[in-house]
Every structure is written in C-alpha cells, then in structure tokens.
Amino acid sequence: MRESLLAVPLVAGNQRLGMIDLWRDGLDAFNEEELERCALFGFITAVALRNAQMYEELEQIALTDALTGLFNIRWWRDMGARLTAQSRRTGAGLAVLMVDLDHFKQINDSAGHAAGDRALRA
C-alpha cells in the first residue's frame, strides 16, 4: 500500500523550529482544504513555539545580571520567599550566604567602571 506524506514546516520569521509529518494511506490522500489547514496549524504552532522561546529568554534576562550572569535581586526575592515558605511548611532548615564587596564604590570611583566590571567578573 502506498502512503502520502505531508511535511509541515514549523517556521517563525526566518527561524526553522521543526517539522510535523503526517502520513495517510493512499496517493494524493490530502485534499486542498486539509493542506491549507495543516499549513495554518504549522504557522500557529511555530509562532507559539517561538513565543515560548522568547518568554524563556526574557525571563532569563529579567532574573540575571547581564555582566556577571548571576541571579539578581528579583530572583533572590522570589526564591527566598519560596524557600522560606518551604522551610516553614516542612520544618527543614534554611541557610543563606550573602557576600558583600567592601568599598566596591571606591574601585569604580578611583579606577573607573570598567575596572569595577572586571573585578565583578573575577
């Protein structure tokens, strides 16, 4: 028995995200309406996938420091609230370690922000 294959590309903008393959028995098994619907489904799916990717990228940007890649205060507040609630709920202990760079402002003021940036990355 011969089969028909309909390969629906998932493309958003100029980015290829994947492919959906549909198989059906018989030659020319997909009619025009089905082809159009599958193309539309592929487009909508690609846009949804791209939106999910962009959301993850934006979330990462929103929760990390661009210079160091470390989590920022937003992340720490959210995670701190979650961990505190979990600790209270389960009775498990919770420890927090904070690091403060003494006189860091003086590095920026005396050597410039580029030197301060290098110190943070070190």
CATH of the domain at 74: 3.30.70.270
One-letter amino acid identity for 111? A
Q: Which of 20, 26, 16 is nearest to 42 (CA)?
A: 20
Range of the structural domain that residue 71 is part of: 64-121
- The string of pLDDT tens digits covering residues 54-66 is 999 999 999 999 8
- The three-state secondary structure class of 101 is coil
Burial degree of 46 (CB within 10 A; 0-12, 13-18, 19+): buried
Other Cβ atoms less than 10 A from the Cβ of 21: the count is 8
Judgement on whether residues 70 and 90 belong to the same structural domain of the protein: yes
Judgement on whether residues 12 and 25 belong to the same structural domain of the protein: yes
Q: How far, in Å, CA of 92 to CA of 99, rounded? A: 23
Residue 1: the pLDDT is 65
Judgement on whether residues 28 and 56 belong to the same structural domain of the protein: yes
Judgement on whether residues 54 and 76 belong to the same structural domain of the protein: no
Q: Which of 13, 90, 103, 3 is nearest to 51 (CA)?
A: 13
The domain boundary residue, chosen from 40, 61, 82: 61
**Percentage of the chain exceeding pLDDT 70:** 99
- The string of pLDDT tens digits covering residues 18-55 is 999 999 998 888 999 999 999 999 999 999 999 999 99
User: Whose structure tokens read 């580029």?
Assistant: 114
Residue 68: the pLDDT is 87
Domain tally for the chain? 2
